[in-house]
Amino acid sequence: MTLVNPNSALTDTVIKGSQAGAATLGLQVEIVRASTDHEIEAVLASISQVPGVPLLFGPDPSFTSRRLQLVTLAARYALPAMYVAREFAEVGGLISYGPDLTNAYRETGVYTGRILKGEKPASLPVAQPTKFELVINLKTAKALGVNIPDKLLALADEVIE
């Protein structure tokens, strides 16, 4: 299940990406939409009624700004949730996988330097993130009763214990 903010400009892209990713695994993904605190809590409460349903929080600035609230709700409803930024795992989220923002900021500095040296911004290629990071919170995994395979732990950029 993927939770998206229906008011976000990223929603259509996230939905298409989630559906395409699931299809390559022969799965289907259910998309749920929520943007307000009340809607989000209602969706999580509803999802919790179906045991073992994993949840992916789609990328959205309003989700990131409320990460502690969202992680707390996921814990309250015992939902194994994945997030798109390490900040969620750092505050107790189960797992995150997303762009390495430190690397992205570094690349922004490189582009800024190129522009300050005279290159026209329009002539610079659009850059996609090239480095991603996987962060696993073992304390949360244990609290949820989720067993993280050793292979996945070995691949993680950071394991929070």
Per-residue confidence band for 51, with pLDDT thresholds at 50, 70 and 90? confident
**What pLDDT is recorded for position 77?**
95
The two three-digit tokens of residue 48, written as one number: 């919790």
Element (DSSP H or E) covering residue 61: helix 61-65
Q: Tell whether pTM > 0.75.
A: yes
Q: Kindly report the average pLDDT of the chain as a whole number.
A: 93
For the stretch 10-32, pLDDT in tens is 899 999 999 999 999 999 899 99
Instruction: State yes or no: pLDDT of 52 exceeds 90.
Output: no
**What pLDDT is recorded for position 34?**
95
The two three-digit tokens of residue 94, written as one number: 């189960």
**How crowded is residue 159: how many other Cβ atoms within 10 Å of its Cβ?**
16
3-state SS class at 145: coil
**Averaged pLDDT for residues 66-78:** 95
Per-residue confidence band for 129, with pLDDT thresholds at 50, 70 and 90? confident
**What pLDDT is recorded for position 103?**
86
**What pLDDT is recorded for position 130?**
86
Per-residue confidence band for 128, with pLDDT thresholds at 50, 70 and 90? confident
**Averaged pLDDT for residues 59-72:** 94
Question: Hey, what long-range contacts does 7-13 have (CB within 8 A, 24 or more apart)?
Answer: 7/35, 7/62, 8/58, 8/60, 8/61, 8/62, 10/58, 10/59, 10/60, 11/58
Domains of the chain: 2-99+132-160 (3.40.50.2300)
For the stretch 83-115, pLDDT in tens is 999 999 999 999 999 998 888 888 889 999 999
CA distance 158 to 161: 10
